[in-house]
Amino acid sequence: MSSYSAPPAHPAERPPRAWNVQIRFRRLLGPLIILVVWQLASSYQLVSPRVLAAPSTVVATAVELLKGGELQRHLWVSLGRVTHGLAIGVGAGLVLALVSGLFRLGEDLLDPPLQMLRTLPILALVPLFILWFGIGETPKIALVALGTLFPIYLNTYAGIRGIDNKLFEAASVLDLNRAQLVWHVILPGALPGALVGLRYSMGVAWLILVISEQINATAGIGYLMTNAREFLRTDIIVVGLVVYSLLGLATDALVRLLERRVLVWRATFAGG
C-alpha cells in the first residue's frame, strides 16, 4: 500500500466558510490581545483612570450613553457632516482628476495649484475658514471636503496616466472614438486607483472631523470628546475614539466590498 499523502490544500482550494472564519479570527486576535493587556494594566493600577479608563469602564459608559440616547444624537450629527463633506470632496476630486488626466491643458492649469494646496496643513486653514464661512456647519463640512479631495484626485489621476499604452493601441485598431475610449478603456483602467483614493478619503474624513467638530460645535462626537476633556472624563473620550475607529473600519469595509464587486475582472495576489 502506498504511503503517499496528498499535500495540504492551497488556501484557494479550502472550504470558503472555514477559510473566512479563520481570516476573521486572525483579524480579531490583535485587538483582543490589546484589550486584555489594557484591562490587566488598569486592574493592577499600572495605568491611572485619569490617564486612561479601563475597557470595562469604557463599555459601561458607552452603554449609559446609548441608553440615554446621547451617543446616537451626536453620532447622527457627525455622520451628516462626513456624508456632506465626502460627497463634495470626492465629487470634486473625481472631476478634477478626469480633467487633468484626460487633457494636457487641464493638467497644466489644474495640477500645479492642487499640488500646492495639498501641502497646506488643514489646521492652518481653520482660522481662514472661520473668517470665510462663519462658525456654523459650513466650515466643518468645507474642511472635510477639502481634506478628502486630494486622495481621490491623486489616485484617480495616477490611475488614468498609469494605463498601459498597449490598450490605447488596441483601441485605435478597433477604431474606438473618444467617448468609447474613455468608457471602455480609461475609466475601467483608472477604477482601481479611484477606489484606493476613496478608501484614503474616507479615512481622512474621520480624522478631519475631529478637528472640525471643535469649531464652536454644539453636537457631534468631536464635541462630546472635547466636552469630556474639560471634566477629565477619559472614559467618554475613549468611547468617542472607539466610535471613530469603528466608523472608519465600517466605511473601509464598504469600499473593499465595492472593490470585490466591481473589480471581479482583475486577478491579484491575495497573500500567501
How many whole angstroms separate alpha carbon 25 and alpha carbon 264?
A: 25
Which of the four pLDDT bands, split at 50, 70 and 90, describes residue 12?
very low
Top-confidence residue, 195 or 259: 195
In this predicted structure, the answer to whether residue 269 has a pLDDT above a threshold of 50 is no
How many whole angstroms separate alpha carbon 228 and alpha carbon 223?
A: 8
Structure confidence at residue 23 (pLDDT): 65
How many whole angstroms separate alpha carbon 217 and alpha carbon 130?
A: 12
How many whole angstroms separate alpha carbon 21 and alpha carbon 112?
A: 47
Report the C-alpha dihedral over residues 248, 224, 88, 143, rounded to 10 degrees: -110
Top-confidence residue, 65 or 170: 65
Q: What is the pLDDT of residues 211-267, one digit of tens each?
A: 888 777 788 888 888 888 888 888 888 898 888 888 888 888 888 888 888 777 665
In this predicted structure, the answer to whether residue 10 has a pLDDT above a threshold of 70 is no
Which of the four pLDDT bands, split at 50, 70 and 90, describes residue 122?
confident
How many whole angstroms separate alpha carbon 160 and alpha carbon 108?
A: 16
Top-confidence residue, 139 or 173: 139
How many whole angstroms separate alpha carbon 69 and alpha carbon 225?
A: 16
Average pLDDT for 133-162: 90
Question: Residues of the chain with pLDDT > 70: what percent?
Answer: 88
Instruction: Pick the range with the lowest mean pLDDT from 69-78, 132-141, 159-168.
Output: 159-168
CB of 242 closer than 8 Å to CB of 224: no
Structure confidence at residue 76 (pLDDT): 93
In this predicted structure, the answer to whether residue 184 has a pLDDT above a threshold of 80 is no
Close Cβ partners of 167 (under 8 Å, ≥ 6 residues apart): 185, 189
Top-confidence residue, 18 or 207: 207
Highest mean pLDDT: which range of 6-10, 155-159, 177-181: 155-159
| Cell numbers found for residue 188 | 475601467
Q: Phi/psi at 121 (nearest 5 deg)?
A: -70, 135
Task: For the domain covering 58-262, report its CATH number.
Answer: 1.10.3720.10
DSSP 184-239: IIIHHHHHHHHHHHHHHHHHHHHHHHHHHTTSS-SSSHHHHHHHHHHTT-HHHHHH
Average pLDDT for 74-101: 92
Using alpha carbons only, what angle is made at residue 169 by residues 166 and 173, rounded to the nearest 5 degrees?
Answer: 140
In this predicted structure, the answer to whether residue 6 has a pLDDT above a threshold of 60 is no
Domain locations in the chain? Answer: 58-262
In this predicted structure, the answer to whether residue 9 has a pLDDT above a threshold of 70 is no
How many whole angstroms separate alpha carbon 128 and alpha carbon 182?
A: 39
End-to-end CA distance of the chain: 34
pLDDT averaged over every residue in the chain: 82
The answer, as to whether pTM is greater than 0.85, is: no
How many whole angstroms separate alpha carbon 29 and alpha carbon 35?
A: 10
| Cell numbers found for residue 109 | 492649469
Structure confidence at residue 49 (pLDDT): 76
